[in-house]
Amino acid sequence: MDQAPGSPQGPKGPGDQEPQDTPSLPTCYRHPDRESGIRCTRCERPICPDCMVSASVGFQCPECIRGGSGTGHPPTATQPRTLAGGTIAADPRLTTKILIGINLAAFLVQLSLGDRFTDSFDLFGQAWLSGRLQGVAEGQWYRLLTAMFLHGSYIHIMFNMLSLWWIGGPLEAALGRARYLSLYFVSGLAGSALTYLIAAPNQPSLGASGAIFGLFGATAVLMRRRRYDMRPVIALLVINLIFTFGWSNIAWQAHIGGLVGGVVVGYAMVHAPRERRALIQYGVCALVLVAVVVATLVRTVQLT
C-alpha cells in the first residue's frame, strides 16, 4: 500500500528492508564512478557523457576513435568502424541512394520501351515468348538479377523505394557500404532463386521486394543485437507479410527467400567475432550464393 502524502515516516524496524531488485546501470570503463546506459557502437563498452564522441551512427569511445579499439595494441585503422566492421562514410546513405536511382532509372526505361523490355529481363522459369522458348531454364540466368530492378506499376515501385529508404538507409549506416551491398544482392538473389525453384515455370516475377525483405530480416537481427525495442520492426514485417499472402499477383516466394537470406547474412554481419569478422561475414554470403546456385541447377534440371 502507498503511504499517504504528508504522513510521518517512522524508523525502520527489523523487518523493513530496502528493495534489492533495483537494476543498476553499468559504469563507464574510463570512469568507474559514473553510471551510463550508452555503449560505444564499435567496442560496445559503456561510456559516460565525457567519453562520448559523436559518430555517424551513435557514439564511440575515444580509444576507438583513435583506432586502437581499447586493446592496448597499436592502431590498426585510420578511422572508426561500424558495428559490423565497415568503414564509416561521410554520407552513410550513399549506396541506398544509388540503388534507388538505379531502380527508378530502370522503371523509366520500362515506361519508355514497354512490355518488350520488361519481358526480356523479368524472372520466369520457362515459357514461349516471341516465338521461342525462353527463361532461366533456357540459360538466361541473368534474369535472377535483372528482375530485382524492375517493377510492375507506380504503386509497386513507390512502396518498394519508400521501404528501401526507411529500412536501407539506417542499415547501411550500421553495416558499412560493402557489407550492406553484399546483404542486398545476396538477399535479392535468394528471393529470385526460391521463386524460380517453386513457382510455376511461366509465372513472371519482378521487383526489389526480395532484397528489401532481406533488409527487414537483417534489421531485426541488428535491433536484437543492440537490445532495441523490437515491436516496431516486427509490426512492420507482419504488415508486409499480410500483404504478401493476402493479395494476389504477389510473388511470396521472393519475399520469403529474401527474408531468410537476410536473416542468415545479417546474423553473420553483426555477430561474427572481431578476430575473423570479414572471413565469416563474406563466407556466409558465399554459402548463401552456393545455395542459390544449387537451387537454380536443381530447377533447371527439372524443367529441361
User: 24-28, 67-71, 160-164, 232-236: lowest mean pLDDT where?
Assistant: 67-71
- What Å distances lie between residue 186 and 38, 64, 260, 268, CA to CA? 33, 30, 11, 13
Q: Tell me how many helices (H) and strands (E) the chain has.
A: 11, 4
User: 33-47, 145-159, 178-192, 204-218: lowest mean pLDDT where?
Assistant: 33-47
In this predicted structure, what is the pLDDT of residue 63?
80
Backbone angles phi, psi at 172, to 5 degrees: -60, -45
Q: Is the pLDDT of residue 100 over 70?
A: yes
Contacts of 243 (CB under 8 A, 6+ apart): 250
List the domains of the chain with CATH numbers. Answer: 26-81 (no CATH), 94-303 (1.20.1540.10)
> Which residues participate in catalysis according to the annotation?
209, 255
Q: Is the pLDDT of residue 121 over 80?
A: yes
183 touches 238 (CB < 8 A)? no
Per-residue pLDDT band at 245 (split at 50, 70, 90) = low
In this predicted structure, what is the pLDDT of residue 244?
66
**pLDDT tens per residue, range 247-278:** 656 778 889 999 999 999 999 999 888 888 88
In this predicted structure, what is the pLDDT of residue 1?
43
CA atoms within 13 A on the CB side of 170: 12
Q: What is the mean pLDDT of residues 136-164?
A: 93
CA distance 38 to 48: 7
89 touches 177 (CB < 8 A)? yes
Q: Match 525462353 to its residue by C-alpha cell.
A: 134
Q: Is the pLDDT of residue 39 over 60?
A: yes
91 vs 251, more confident: 91
What percent of the chain has pLDDT above 90? Answer: 44
Q: What's the mean pLDDT when you consider all of the chain?
A: 83
Q: Match 570479414 to its residue by C-alpha cell.
A: 278
What percent of the chain has pLDDT above 70? Answer: 84
Backbone angles phi, psi at 27, to 5 degrees: -100, 150
Per-residue pLDDT band at 154 (split at 50, 70, 90) = very high
CA distance 208 to 190: 12
CA distance 163 to 150: 15
Cβ-based neighbour number of residue 32 at 10 Å: 10
302 touches 201 (CB < 8 A)? no
Scored b (16 or more CB within 10 A) or e, 169-197 reads bbbbbbbbbbbbbbbbbbbbbbbbbbbbb
11 vs 114, more confident: 114
Q: What's the Rg (C-alpha) of the chain?
A: 25
CA distance 23 to 240: 37
3 vs 90, more confident: 90
In this predicted structure, what is the pLDDT of residue 246?
60
